Amino acid sequence: MSTIAELLTSARVIAVVGLSSKKHRPSYGVSEYMQRAGYRIIPVNPNEESVLGEKAYPSLEVVPEKVDIVNIFRRSEFVPEIVEQAIRAGAKAIWMQEGVVHEEAAERARQAGLTVVMDRCILKEHRRLTRPSAPGVQRA
């Protein structure tokens, strides 16, 4: 089983850093999909009270429960501090969405024992792993 498959199979709680209540934002659509797929979504955004029916927190360090995946919807320059917070919070994995890349922060997370997925969409990966392949039908 691939690292991504193992991660998505074992994870239950996803803290989404940068989750917006604006329905047109990618963070909202992706998190809504993951919530419908059975994951608990914890919004992390100091500008939000709640998103998708869940209380929002201003930072990872004040989230009161254990987080499996920290899904990052912030620009790459913000990733190092998010990784440090994730390490301190005891997260198991860092997931940087498409377009979010920070090699040094990824290495820091790996050295701290976290699984790292970078520049990949969690929705697309989940859908790819859970969609059955019909005979004779090619995947995109």
Residue 132's pLDDT is: 67
Residue 1's pLDDT is: 66
Assess if CATH 3.40.50.1970 describes domain 3-129: no
DSSP 24: T
What are the sequence ranges of the domains in the chain? Answer: 3-129
Residue 130's pLDDT is: 87
Placement of tokens 């940087």 in the chain = 96
Q: Where are the beta strands (DSSP E) in 45-136?
A: 50-51, 54-55, 69-72, 93-96, 115-117
68, 77, 123: which is closest to 103 by C-alpha?
77
Residue 131's pLDDT is: 80
Q: Along the 140 residues of the chain, how does pLDDT read in single tens digits?
A: 689 999 999 999 999 999 999 999 999 999 999 999 999 999 999 999 999 999 999 999 999 999 999 999 999 999 999 999 999 999 999 999 999 999 999 999 999 999 999 999 999 999 999 886 544 444 33
The C-alpha atoms of residue 107 and residue 21 are separated, in whole angstroms, by 31
Residue 2's pLDDT is: 84
Are the CB atoms for 38 and 58 separated by under 8 Å?
no
